Each structure stands twice: as structure tokens, then as C-alpha cells.
Amino acid sequence: MINLILNFVTACRTSGLRVSTAEVIDSARQFELINLLDEDQFRTTLRANFAKSRREQRDFDRLYNLFFHDMLPDTDIDIKNPQKDEIRNALDQIKTEINEDPLAEAIFDFLAGDPIPYLKEIQRLETLGEETTKALKSNLSQLSSRLEIMLRINQTRNRLIQLQNDNSTDSQPGQNRGMAAHLLKRLEVANRMLTQETRPYNDGLKQVNAYGKQYSGLGERPFSNLTEIEIEQMRSVIDQLVRKMKDVMSRRYATRNKGALDVKKTLRTAQRYHGVPIEIIYRRKPLRKTKVVTLCDVSGSVWSAARFMLNMIYSMQDCFSDVKSFAFVCGPTNITDIFEKHEVNKAIEKVLTDTNINFDALTDYGEVFYQFHRDYLNLLSKKTTLIIVGDARSNYHNPQEKLLDEMRAKCRRVIWLNPEPEQFWGSGDSEMNTYKAFCHEVRPCRNLNQLIYFIEDLVF
Amino acid sequence: MIGFESVEDVAQKLESVDYIPSREIATVVYLAAATQKPILVEGPAGAGKTELARALARCLNLKKIRLQCYEGLDEAKALYEWEYAKQLLYTQMIKEKINDLIAESSSITEAVEKIAEQEDAFFSERFLLARPLLQAITSEEPVVLLIDEIDKSDPEFEAFLLELLSDFQVSIPEIGIWKAIHIPIVVLTSNNYRDISDALKRRCIHLYIDYPEKDLEKRIVQLKIPEIEIRLADQIVETINKIRDLDLKKRPCISETIDWAKALMVLQVNDLSPQVLSDTINVICKYQIDTTMVRESMDKVLK
């Protein structure tokens, strides 16, 4: 029993769940309290101890099924069905009819009860994207090999069904049918393992689509459809918004010195004057300590929205104690300095012309995350909110979502603003659905009203 | 050991105080109580996280102590605070006595020595203002300690909770270490606003409470409003579940289901119609935009 659990723990750890020894001991202790034959209780106990957030629960469930159901050697095989070598024989017979190659071999080994070659094949697929990053930067080869295995599985399935209905062999027909059914079941398992999403499930994700409709005409126009005059109007509205934000901030400064009397500190300073409370000290309202790191896509596909986003990021710099801003196309460029030194319009102009951002390159989010992770990870702390602005269109490059996951672990919140309408997320080269799983909050942000709504949520 | 005999016992006791737990909830609560570990409850707002702690206190007949977390919450507000004003007042009042005490001393050292002997008088429980956490630890009776919305607090506060939750003791420098008389049943709730630190998670048993299944929700409605007709309860739960599927700013939770059912009872409605839903929508939706959205998709919601 304990060995089984320890094996499972190893499996959990390998797949990224953090399970500590203390938690293993806890669960072992708890097994004494529950009815172990009740699977619900058994699973709940393991889950309550091993998966400690909703995101991990999904991973846990997948592993649990794999470990305790799919991969466990079937116990009924010896009772109802022929011996192992008979299965082997039958499989060999089929195999001779199908072209010999390592892939088919792996599938047949899996059916015969030796899953290792097949698992290795799947593992190779999963890691394929990372290995070929430098040369190809694409996940297409991974998809095509996946397809190949699927075809092979289908082929095998057809043959097995044939076998199931085939009564002409010399052994008893019932036995054959039972064996084929068993093999089909195994094949289903193999198929499920191949097609299963390994992406984490993000239930706590806050997805905001609703927004207030403050400016009816202008507010509803997508950034990409604005005319020259409307852009001017938009500017003035944004200026207003920025002023409002600053007002709120200065009010916060102003109220800092008001509030309840702080008896402790007043008495302490009074000691200096023989107990006469000359200076009265109030409890201070702490300023918001939040730090903000923004990553803003300025590539061609979001060109129209980028200007407004930069404008918004610029104004945020005044509202929080620490804002670091980056613009990117295929690698992050630190634009914090430009924003700090110049007036807003000039700063944006400068970002779009003077920096060494390569505007001709193809957008590559994976690369951006990779470089950011390498060079600037120390900017993220538990007080940081990371705001990513972009359409997640990564030109079929490797999305590197694992890096975003690591970044998420470092900071307080990850918010993604997407200037595309929601129906287009995940279409074509958009990796939005991949990245979504690693954000705390995602919002479409393609017109003024949505932008205002977001800022109000963040600042006020 | 306070608490329960078995998983079934938990379910039964919780039901007796009008809280219907799923099997998972019952199992986790039982394990937590038996191994004296805190429960970390996650889930959408209004799924009954806080209510679970309340129900636990009610069914075990224990006092409930609640600590609401927020940004800027610190030890002084959560654990204890010295009452400086009171200490000062007392010093003023017994000035004479102190003078008497040191009157005979021949040197300053001796005087300080003498006052030091009395130090305990000034740093004793008398001048200690116990906040929720200390109350829970020092309580004569076992209690249920609810630490609500832990994700709203600062990471510093989380770190500070670690000592309390693993050893159930607090150290007060002037007095020493206080161990809990009874280990309280601790329930922490989180809305997943940010991720909780691993260290804290490790000390807790995790539980995720989702919106209840339709059948369970129906039972809850019937339990809270016994006089409701089964058909109407059916309709209400169906409709609420459909509304939950809409993209709302705030999804209706169980308490809103019950409020709505109550409102319909008061209005003596026997059958749901678009008119009725439209009239009572304010009970279900708490935002103007949500109200508009439900009104717009009326035919989808009421089928």
C-alpha cells in the first residue's frame, strides 16, 4: 500500500505537482481514518492533501485516473481472457499484416501490457516543441506526428474489430471476442492518453466581458476603425480619464494624514514633552504599494490599438509607486525610462520610432516570454501585477506557455488585455486559449469603454 | 478530540443544522477534524464557504471566532495589542506607590532593580488586548476559527499565520509562548484573488466548493423553505443554473437562489413567467449590466 502511494507521489512530483513529505505522511495517517474500500473517500483524501488549489486539482485528477485506472495492469485479464502469451500470439499475427515500424511496435507493446515504448513516444511528442525551438519554432511537426499515431491506432482498431467478428479461427469464438474487446479497451486508453489536453485548467480565471457604456458613440468604436478626427476626440477623452486617475491618487495622498487617532504613537511622542501630547499622530492610510509591470505588443497586428494602450500605460506610471513598462514585437524592450523622461505624446512617438524594437520582425510571444524570463524575472514579486497587452498572435511559433506559468508563480496577478474581440481568440495563430490558462484575469479591450472599465477596476 | 465519528456522522450533523454537504465536503471536514488540521476552502463567491464554518460551529455547539482579512491587516489587529493608554493611566495612578517602593533605595541601580521586580505587573494579561487569533488560542472552550478571505491579506500576514497554524501557539516577547488550550477547528477561505503561498497550503487540507449540483441545490431550497412546492423549486433551480451560464459580472449564488425563492413565495407566485422574472430580477442580479443581460436573454433562461 505505502509503496503504491509513494509511486503515485513520484508520478505527481514528476508532472509538476509540489507534494511534500509532510503531505505524504498526513495522507498516510488519514488513510487509517477512512474506509479505504470507498474510492470516493480514498480519492478525496489524496486530493485534499496533494492538490492544494483548483488549478492543481485538474492535473491531479488526470494523474489519478492514469495511475489508478488506465495504467494499472488489468486484474481481470487472467480470469476472463486467455493468457498473456496468447494475446501476444494474436497480436503478432495482426502485426505481420501491418507494416513493421517502431510506432506500430509501440502500440502493440502497449496492448500487450508493456506501455513503456508508447509512453516514450508520447513524451517525445510533448517535448518536441521545446527541442526544435531554435531551428523551426513551430508546433506543426508535433501535430503531424500526433496525427500519424492516431491513424495507426485507427488502423489497429479496425483490425481488432475484424478479429472480434471473425469466427473462422480454430480457437473458440467467444475467447477471441473477449480478447478483442479487452484489446479495444486498451486501445481506447492509448488514444485518450494521446489526445488529452495537458493544459492546466483555470477555473479561478476572471474573464470580464461586461463593461459600462459611458461614451455611447465613440466609446463603442473599435480602435482599429477610428478616423483621424475621432483619434483626436479619443485623445481628449483619455486625457480626462488620466486627470480623473490623478485626482483619485492625490486624494489618497491628501487623506493620508487624516484618520483615527493613533494613541500608541501619540503617547510615545508625548513622553518627550513630559507626557503632554503636543504632537497628535493619526493612523496613516498606507499608500497603495502595488507594483505594476506591463508588457505591450506594438506589432503590426495590434498597431491601431497599441497607441492607446501605450497612452494608458503612460498614465499608469503616475498612479502606482512602481511601474515598469516593456514594449515588444519579438523581444521585450524596456521603455520605462522613455516614459519617465518625456511628455506623453512625445514618449509614445519615441517608443514607436527611436527604440531598437524591430517592427519588421514577426511577433513571437514565446521568445518575448523567454527573454523576459531570462532578463527581467527579478522585477516580479508577490506585490507585482503583470499586465500583458496583445492579441497573442504568435505566428505559429512555440508559445512557451510554461514560462508564463513560472512568471505567474512569481507575481500577484497576471492580467491579459486583448484588443481582439473574443470570438477570434484561439483562431488561426492566436494562442490566447493557451495563455488564458495561466492568467488570473483576461479581458477583451478593443474600444474606449472597455479600456475605461478596466482602468476603473484596477485603480479606483 | 472534538468532532465526529465518521464521514457519515459529519454529513448527518451538518444536515441537522441546515447545511447539506457533498460527500467530498464531509470527507474533508472529517479528516481535518480528526487530524486537527486547518481546512483551506476555495470556490466562487457565495458557494457556501463561510457558511461551512458557521454550520460547523453550530452543529458542534462551539463558539465561532471570525477574522476578516483585508489589505494592510497586521498582527496588532489580528493577534494582540498592548493597551498603552491603560498602562500609562495605571502608572500615573500608582505613582505614589512607586515612589514608596524606591524611597529606601540607596542607589539608582537598586531602584531600577526594585522596579524591574515589578515589571510583570505592567506587562501582564491585564494590559493585553486580545484580537481574534489570540482569543481563539486562549479560549477555555474549543472554538471554530474562521479566517475569511485570506487571499485579500498581504503576503507578510500569511507568513505570520504559519506559526499559528502549524504549532497552534503564539509568542509574545514580553510574556512568553502561549500554547492553545484546545486546538481550534480552523477554516480559511479564499476567493482565488491571488495564489496562496506553498508553505501555508502545505499546512492545510484543501477543499474546493463549487456551486452545488442541481439536485443538491433543490434539496437546499426545500430545506430552507419547507413550504415551497416541488415544481416551483425545480423551476427556480433550473432557471438559476441557466443564469449562471450567462456571462455575468457576478453569478447568482446559493443565497440568492434562496432569497429569490423566498421573494416568489411572498409574491405567491406558482409558476415562473418572463414577467415574474423581470419583476424580481433585482434579487438575483446585483449589477445593472447583469440585469440587462438577463432581460435580453430571457427566452434562453426560461425555457
| Binding-face residues of A in 96-135 toward B, CB within 8 A | none
What confidence category does residue A130 fall into, taking pLDDT thresholds of 50, 70 and 90? very low
Q: How far is CA A83 from CA A79, A86, A89, A100, A113, in A?
A: 9, 5, 10, 24, 12
Q: Is A330 helix (H, G, I), strand (E, B) or coil?
A: coil
Q: Look at residue A76 and tell me whether its pLDDT is greater than 60.
A: no
Distance CA A387, CA A417 (A): 7
| Binding-face residues of A in 363-422 toward B, CB within 8 A | 382-383, 408-409, 412-413
Q: Taking Cα atoms as reference points, which of B38, B65, B60 lies closest to residue B200?
A: B38
Mean pLDDT (whole number) for B153-182: 84
Contact A351, A310 (CB under 8 A): yes
- Nearest C-alpha of chain B: how many angstroms from A306? 27
- The pLDDT tens digits of the residues spanning B120-143 come to 777 788 888 889 999 998 888 889
Q: Given an 8 Å threshold on Cβ–Cβ distance, is A409 in contact with B30?
A: no
- Nearest C-alpha of chain B: how many angstroms from A208? 7
Pairing of strands A413-418, B143-148: unpaired
Mean pLDDT (whole number) for A122-145: 56
Q: Look at residue A390 and tell me whether its pLDDT is greater than 70.
A: yes
How much is the pLDDT for A33? Answer: 86
Mean pLDDT of chain A: 75
What confidence category does residue A77 fall into, taking pLDDT thresholds of 50, 70 and 90? very low
Unique residue bearing C-alpha cell 492580467: A415
Q: Considering only alpha carbons, which residue of chain B is nearest residue A264? A: B84
Which one of A49, A52, A404 would you mutate to disrupt binding with B, by most B Cβ within 10 Å of its Cβ? A52
| Reported pTM | 0.70
- The pLDDT tens digits of the residues spanning A184-238 come to 777 777 777 766 655 555 555 666 665 655 565 666 777 767 777 777 777 777 7
Find the helix or strand (DSSP H, E) in which A386 lies: strand A384-389
Residue B274, chain A, CB below 8 Å: the answer is no
Q: How many CB atoms lie within 10 A of CB B283?
A: 17
Q: Look at residue B194 and tell me whether its pLDDT is greater than 80.
A: no
Distance CA A248, CA B300 (A): 41
Contact B14, B180 (CB under 8 A): no
% of chain A exceeding 70 in pLDDT: 68
Contact A87, A183 (CB under 8 A): yes
Long-range contacts of A136-143 (CB under 8 A, 24+ apart): A137/A364, A137/A366, A137/A367, A137/A396, A137/A397, A137/A398, A138/A396, A138/A397, A138/A398, A139/A396, A139/A398, A139/A399, A140/A396
% of chain A exceeding 90 in pLDDT: 0
- The pLDDT tens digits of the residues spanning B67-120 come to 999 877 888 888 888 887 788 888 888 888 888 878 888 888 888 888 888 777
Residue B72, chain A, CB below 8 Å: the answer is yes
Q: Is A102 helix (H, G, I), strand (E, B) or coil?
A: helix
What confidence category does residue A81 fall into, taking pLDDT thresholds of 50, 70 and 90? very low
- Nearest C-alpha of chain B: how many angstroms from A30? 7
Mean pLDDT (whole number) for A319-333: 83
From chain B, pick out residues whose CB is under 8 angstroms from the CB of A40: 23-24, 27
Mean pLDDT (whole number) for A168-190: 65
DSSP string covering A36-95 = TT-HHHHHHHHHHHH--SHHHHHHHHHHHHIIIIISSPPSTHHHHS--HHHHHHHHHHHH
Least confident of A98-112, A283-297, A371-385, B227-241: A98-112
From chain A, pick out residues whose CB is under 8 angstroms from the CB of B155: 382-383
From chain A, pick out residues whose CB is under 8 angstroms from the CB of B30: 33-34
- On the CB side of A426, CA atoms within 13 Å amount to 7
Q: Considering only alpha carbons, which residue of chain B is nearest residue A270? A: B88
Residue A81's Cα: distance from chain center in Å? 44
Angle subtended by helix axes A140-165 and A173-195, to nearest 10 = 170
- The pLDDT tens digits of the residues spanning A342-361 come to 887 788 888 888 777 888 88
Where does residue B44 rank: exposed (0-12), middle (13-18), buried (19+ CB within 10 A)?
A: buried
Task: Pick A91 or A270 by higher pLDDT.
Answer: A270
Contact B182, B142 (CB under 8 A): yes
Q: Given an 8 Å threshold on Cβ–Cβ distance, is A264 in contact with B84?
A: yes
Strands in A402-450 per DSSP E: 413-418, 441-444
Mean pLDDT (whole number) for A89-97: 64
For residue A332, list its beta bridge partners: A328
% of chain B exceeding 90 in pLDDT: 19
Least confident of A63-77, A288-302, A434-448: A63-77
Contact B283, B269 (CB under 8 A): no
User: Would you state the cell numbers that stand for residue A384, as one nine-digit string?
Assistant: 507585482
